[in-house]
Amino acid sequence: MKRLAVVVFNLGGPDSPQAVQPFLFNLFSDPAIISLPQPLRWLVAKMISGRRAPVAQEIYHHLGGKSPLLEQTQQQADALAAALTEGETEARVFIAMRYWHPMTDRAVAEVKAYAPDAVVLLPLYPQFSTTTSGSSLKLWQQEAARQGLTVPTQAVCCYPAETGFISAMVETLVPLLRQAMETGTPRLLFSAHGLPKKVVDGGDPYQAQVEQTAAAVIRVLEQRDPQWHGLDWQVCYQSRVGPLEWIGPSTDAEIERAGRDGVPLVLMPLAFVSEHSETLVELDIEYGKLAADSGVPLYLRAATVQSHPDFIGGLAGLVRQTLDWPQGATPRPDGGLRRCADRWGKCPCQP
């Protein structure tokens, strides 16, 4: 029987109030997040994590003192392993979190002990960014080399319009859109985590891929039901920090605009596949209050796809397709090695 190891990557989150500051320090120590040389980056990470820890601890207080991300990622991993184990293939799915446990060094050691015939790396970020998937995959390569893991390994770089992912979002959205129609003509906001504008200007394809995801959702909505033709929708970005200019429009500004327009809102977090502080606190609590204060007549937030069968089935399909590619290739779901326009020079796939 062949052994397949799939490694899923995610951000990670603190598992106790005491873990908040070291989690933040790990985040801001990442050169993909703050591109200063050492020791300046260490000093800046220490300063920012110390300053932001009390605010972040208050955020996680709403979540029982810790992030729910690991438990949900484990559920996704279990569902994916079940979907991939068939016939002569035994599949085991490992978790590598970027900034808190279980971290990449542990995942590499576990994969090495499992002794698989092949490894597929699968970021749980549908849209590629150097700050998320790029950072995680780079660290995996470094750690695998350090530990001497030499099993044939391939990576899925992105899947912004993968059919199972899109279908799972559409199924979640339709009941909420119908509910919102009882209040008025709804507006659909697709909210994604933001990035500094200089990162995108430097060739990062994330924003373009977020827009691909939103367009794919709208396309499927229209195909499934003509009533969604002409739906009012907008892509926007949340979670701005620091003084830099960030990509926009911002989610909070779009909520305020909906209040001025008097339209009900349905908000879909399209770059997150699990619930965590940015959805359960920022979107639900903080933006929920902003919507009420701004006069939005109805504010509904769609759940992330989590372990939706269509999403898990889509991930399983990506893994199977990846195994058919030659060593070192990084496939895209529609049959090529690059989905990004030439201007996105940070795309990891060859043109």
Block mean pLDDT (10 aa), the chain, length 351: 96 96 95 92 94 94 96 98 93 98 98 97 98 97 97 95 98 98 97 96 97 98 95 96 90 98 98 97 98 98 98 97 71 63 87 58
pTM of the model: 0.95
The pLDDT score that the predictor gives to residue 332 is: 55
- Is 278 annotated in some ligand binding site? yes
CA distance linking residue 135 with residue 263, whole number of Å = 39
Q: Which of 126, 164, 165 is nearest to 8 (CA)?
A: 126
The pLDDT score that the predictor gives to residue 350 is: 65
- Is 162 annotated in some ligand binding site? no
The pLDDT score that the predictor gives to residue 1 is: 83
The pLDDT score that the predictor gives to residue 241 is: 81
Q: Which of 268, 292, 284 is nearest to 165 (CA)?
A: 268
Q: Is 256 exposed, middle or buried (0-12, 13-18, 19+ CB in 10 A)?
A: middle
The pLDDT score that the predictor gives to residue 157 is: 92
The pLDDT score that the predictor gives to residue 329 is: 57
The pLDDT score that the predictor gives to residue 325 is: 66
Q: What are the structural domains, with CATH classification, of the chain? A: 2-159+309-323 (3.40.50.1400), 163-301 (3.40.50.1400)
